[in-house]
Amino acid sequence: MMADLLAGLEPPPAAREEIGPGALLLRGWALPRVDTLLAGVVEVAAQAPFRHMVTPGGFQMSVAMTNCGQAGWVTDRGGYRYAANDPATDRPWPALPPAFSDLAGAAAHEAGYPGFAPDACLINRYEPGARLTLHQDKDERYQGHPIVSVSLGLPAVFQFGGLKRADPIRRVSLAHGDVVVWGGPSRLFHHGILPLKEGLHPQLGATRINLTLRRAL
């Protein structure tokens, strides 16, 4: 424990914050693994490029997305769903990099959800102005599993509401290296990302990347 702390492998206990029922924010938790995670993103995007998908209502999303794992989240005029193949190439999505699954399993364990084994990862890429309007994540087959999110690059303002769309909304800043484990009641809470502000991150430039590790199937 103390040795891990000194080695920079474990953040101090003050970096743990319960931001909702069953939702634990681990500030800076991914920092020791950022380079490996980013290498995974580059590898995935080489095989399944980022693209701006279209919502069922016909709007192009401002966030660019790609996926890896057994299934990928997609949207088009036909609706939202998980698909085994990338519609852009008709080939299976790239495999989940082990660094992604390892980090998700360890973070979930840390948050009190042992045995979490993700089978899918949605990778979101934001540039200044890009946003994600308030929504719930309900396309996974069984919504009892937690979701682990990792924020990289420019900081963003995360909106966190409740089960009902009209519930009060809190704002939480998510920065480079922050990990959040969304389980329990929070798993189905409404959430979104406000338009990304201009900025330059030393490693990622004018970009924010968010990984969400999920059990989709």
Q: Which of 201, 183, 211 minimizes the C-alpha distance to 25? A: 183
Does residue 212 belong to the site contacting ligand MD3 (CB under 6 A)? yes
Choice between 91 and 165, CB closer to Fe ion: 165
| H/E segment holding residue 101 | helix 98-110
**In the complex, what is the shortest distance from the CB of residue 135 to Fe ion, in angstroms, rounded to a whole number?**
6
- Residue of the chain from 24, 41, 132, 179 that contacts ligand MD3 (CB under 6 A): 132
Does residue 107 belong to the site contacting ligand MD3 (CB under 6 A)? no
Does residue 140 belong to the site contacting Fe ion (CB under 5 A)? no
- Residue of the chain from 86, 137, 140, 178 that contacts Fe ion (CB under 5 A): 137
CA atoms of 164 and 85, how far apart (whole Å): 33
Please answer whether residues 27 and 17 qualify as being in contact, where contact means their C-beta atoms are separated by less than 8 angstroms. yes
3-class SS shares of the chain: helix, strand, coil, % to 5 = 20, 35, 45
Does residue 110 belong to the site contacting Fe ion (CB under 5 A)? no
3-state secondary structure of 190: coil
Does residue 86 belong to the site contacting Fe ion (CB under 5 A)? no
- Given Fe ion, ligand MD3, none, residue 149, with its beta carbon under 5 to 8 Å by kind, binds ligand MD3
3-state secondary structure of 32: helix
Residue whose beta carbon is closest to ligand MD3: 210
| H/E segment holding residue 46 | helix 34-47
3-state secondary structure of 150: strand
Question: Applying CB under 5 A, which residues contact Fe ion?
Answer: 137
Site residues, ligand MD3 (CB under 6 A): 122, 124, 132, 137, 147, 149, 180, 182, 186-187, 189, 191, 193, 210, 212
